[in-house]
Amino acid sequence: MTEFQAVVLGILQGAGEFLPISSSAHLALAPKIFGWEYQGLAYDVMLHMGTLLAVLVYFAKDWVNILRDGFVRPRQKEGRLLWLLAAGSIPAGIGGLLLHDMAETVFRDPRGIALNLIFFSLVIYLADRKAKQTLNETSFTLKDALLIGLAQTIALMPGASRSGMTIMAALFLGYSRPAAARLSFLLGTPVIFGAGLLEAAKLTSGDINTAFVCGVVSSFVSGLVGIGLFLAWLKKHSLTPFLVYRVILGAGIFFFFMNNAKPSQDFVLLVPSICAPLVSTGTLKSGDSFDSTFGRKVPYADIRALEKALKKAGAGVLQPGDIYAVSFSTPGAAMDCGLNAVHLRRRNSEIVMDFVLARGENLYSISRKGDNFEPEKSRVPASTVSFSVQGVLDSSLWEAMRVSSVPAGMIMEFADIFAWEIDFLTEPRKGDTFALVWEECRTALGVPCPARVLGAVYRGEETGEKHAFYYGASYYNETGGSLRRAFLRAPLSYRRISSYFSKARFHPILRIYRPHNGIDYAAPSGTPVSSVADGTVVYKGWKGGYGNFIELRHGGGYVTGYGHLRAYAKGIKTGTRVSQGQVIGYVGKTGLATGPHLDFSIKSNGRYANFLKINPPPATKLTGTELQRFISGIEPLNDKFQFLFRSGQNRERQNENL
């Protein structure tokens, strides 16, 4: 963050902290609007320290009297204010500790901020207009302190405004505007101080720099000015200008982010032209075909030609959800555009000129060229949004990621990316951490595109630290090695390993000790079994105690065996080429087996090997200029991961101190 950015955020913090316009909303929105890197809630709270200094300086005499009376004569009316302020700070303190993570992530959604700005403006307006406004600070009671303190917890949601919520509550309780504002500032002091201390403990020496100092100083100065001007305003005026600003700001946020989130409305599949003035559009439903959709308007020969051109473009047959546009030429336009008499006789009303089909991000355009149609494939414009998350495992990766609001598809993608590196059924341990950055997109036609993981990190007690970065349609580790290995980590999704590779295992049926040259994966009968690598089927059939058995030959002198199968996959026979991950059979208990499991073995140059101890090399590795380009390209992601893990460690230290 530059000094200029820090000063801007400091001014927004200082001005917004004491005015009922929500400083946290401005701090959350400014990086999104200007494209600045968000520095985290810790940075926001340290900016709050500047405003804490402002309120302490402005109310220095008041705080001296409050502290003196609170300790010297706590039972008298003058001395009770200190303890009432302390009691009123308890709800906000508890709320801040419980909702810290949500305040840093979920609550910062621009739509939620806009809604809070507008909704609470209406509530504050009612309090400002309808309340009696006759009380002053001398009427302050424990009930008032707790109620105003509860209202202060609402301000954890950016857009609500801490000063706005506390002033609103005080007005509803009957306090005058100046008294409500003073109580708001005094009540906010312990909360700002406590939050600042918690976050200050997490800062490192690297966080204290020139930009940081500029932010604190600017928030202090603007806060000091804001307090004086606001209190002077309230002596003679209402809160209406501030509430109008909130509503305008909220509406502006809705307009700005909704327009930027929505696909471009300028994009259309087909534009009418002189030669094709008629355009028809629609979305295909289940069961729709060229004949059912266009049979009444398009000649049979044109339908077949369009189907052929669409297949040539790679689209295949029509699918539900496809968005189409077709343009037609009228007889007069056809003659003007030089279409021959054959076209005119074929249809005396309309002639197909262009056909466009959008399927996800793919755009298939078919244009008439004389008697034929020429296809072309391109892309539909799309907009993307990036997301990031960091978390800690308590029981399983799935549960930890779901708690962090990671979509189910991204969890599966994360597991698939590391399938060659981590066995997520046996290797994760409580306390392992992960970080994930992914992007979601939507086409200009409003159709969601497949989400994609841009980068991922897993730090495990058993696995060590594993990295994955998306590059050139594949995933690589931090040194440019492909995460796709010569072998999968396991040939199936299994419950447990019931028997390991051994030179002398006691056979459960034969009741003798003999070598067990494979690994038994216990799994329900019918579980799909996949080839661990690209290869060729060299044997398929019954093989004694192994029952139904498949043997595959792979490159590098490796041969794998799959025993006790219940059935074989369709198309599997001797000589068949199979790819890594392709289903070749299904778990059973044929042959000598006490229950359903897969007996999996691997031989290297004719000798059996322990598959769990094999460390196959990456399928590919980047080199030369390609590697240099990759290393430089992942630097921003590495910086992002460091920030995410540092934030996560800070949260852990905070939880340990509770």
Domain CATH code at residue 537: 2.70.70.10
Would residue 265 count as lying in a domain?
no
Identify whether residues 554 and 657 lie together within a single domain.
no
In angstroms, rounded to a whole number, what is the distance separating the alpha carbons of residues 619 and 531?
Answer: 15
In angstroms, rounded to a whole number, what is the distance separating the alpha carbons of residues 228 and 210?
Answer: 28
Structure tokens at 188: 């906010």
Identify whether residues 70 and 196 lie together within a single domain.
yes
pLDDT at 511 over 60: no
CATH code, domain with 472:
3.10.450.350
Residue 156 amino acid letter:
L
Would residue 220 count as lying in a domain?
yes
Residue 510's pLDDT band (boundaries 50, 70, 90)? very low
Predicted local distance difference test score (pLDDT) of residue 265: 46
pLDDT at 276 over 70: yes
Predicted local distance difference test score (pLDDT) of residue 221: 92
Identify whether residues 67 and 209 lie together within a single domain.
yes
Identify whether residues 160 and 284 lie together within a single domain.
no
Would residue 268 count as lying in a domain?
no
Identify whether residues 318 and 372 lie together within a single domain.
yes
Predicted local distance difference test score (pLDDT) of residue 631: 94
Predicted local distance difference test score (pLDDT) of residue 233: 93
pLDDT at 505 over 60: no
- 3-state SS, residue 214: helix
Identify whether residues 104 and 63 lie together within a single domain.
yes
Residue 656's pLDDT band (boundaries 50, 70, 90)? very low
Predicted local distance difference test score (pLDDT) of residue 106: 47
Count up the domains in the chain and report the number. Answer: 4
Domain boundary among 378, 401, 427: 378
Predicted local distance difference test score (pLDDT) of residue 566: 93
Give the domain extent around 558: 496-613
Residue 42's pLDDT band (boundaries 50, 70, 90)? very low
Higher pLDDT, 290 or 338: 290
Identify whether residues 234 and 156 lie together within a single domain.
yes
- Helices 41-58, 23-34: axis angle to 10 degrees equals 140
Read off the pLDDT of each residue in 542-551 and give the average, rounded to a whole number.
94
Would residue 213 count as lying in a domain?
yes
Identify whether residues 220 and 293 lie together within a single domain.
no
Query: How does pLDDT run across 65-112, given as a tens digit for each residue?
Result: 989 988 888 877 767 888 989 998 898 888 777 765 455 544 556 778
Would residue 641 count as lying in a domain?
yes
Predicted local distance difference test score (pLDDT) of residue 192: 79
Residue 496's pLDDT band (boundaries 50, 70, 90)? low
Would residue 263 count as lying in a domain?
no
Residue 195's pLDDT band (boundaries 50, 70, 90)? confident
Predicted local distance difference test score (pLDDT) of residue 341: 45
Read off the pLDDT of each residue in 127-150 and give the average, rounded to a whole number.
87
Domain boundary among 256, 287, 308: 256
**pTM exceeding the 0.75 threshold for the entire prediction:** no
Higher pLDDT, 261 or 383: 383
Residue 450's pLDDT band (boundaries 50, 70, 90)? confident
Burial 304-343 (b: 16+ CB within 10 A, else e): ebbbebbeebebeebeeebbbbbbbbeeebbeeeebeeeb
pLDDT at 619 over 80: no
Read off the pLDDT of each residue in 36-63 and give the average, rounded to a whole number.
74
**Residue percentage of the chain with pLDDT more than 90:** 32
Read off the pLDDT of each residue in 127-132 and give the average, rounded to a whole number.
82
Residue 562's pLDDT band (boundaries 50, 70, 90)? very high
Higher pLDDT, 47 or 92: 92
Predicted local distance difference test score (pLDDT) of residue 591: 92
Ranges 220-224, 290-294, 348-352, 380-384, most confident: 220-224
Closest Cα partner for 364 from 410, 311, 414?
A: 311
Residue 653's pLDDT band (boundaries 50, 70, 90)? very low
Would residue 269 count as lying in a domain?
no
Closest Cα partner for 159 from 29, 10, 260, 61?
A: 29
- 3-state SS, residue 352: strand
pLDDT at 237 over 80: yes
In angstroms, rounded to a whole number, what is the distance separating the alpha carbons of residues 485 and 502?
Answer: 25
Residue 544 amino acid letter:
G
Residue appearing with tokens 């001014």: 11
Identify whether residues 70 and 144 lie together within a single domain.
yes
Identify whether residues 372 and 385 lie together within a single domain.
no
Identify whether residues 244 and 304 lie together within a single domain.
no
Output the CA–CA distances (angstroms, integers) from residue 469 to 374, 450, 478, 481, 619, in the order listed: 39, 17, 7, 10, 15
How many CA atoms lie less than 13 Å away from 588 in the CB half-sphere? 21
Domain boundary among 224, 256, 288: 256
Identify whether residues 600 and 628 lie together within a single domain.
no
Q: Using CB atoms within 10 Å of the CB of residue 386, give its burial: 0 to 12 exposed, 13 to 18 middle, 19+ buried.
A: exposed
Would residue 41 count as lying in a domain?
yes
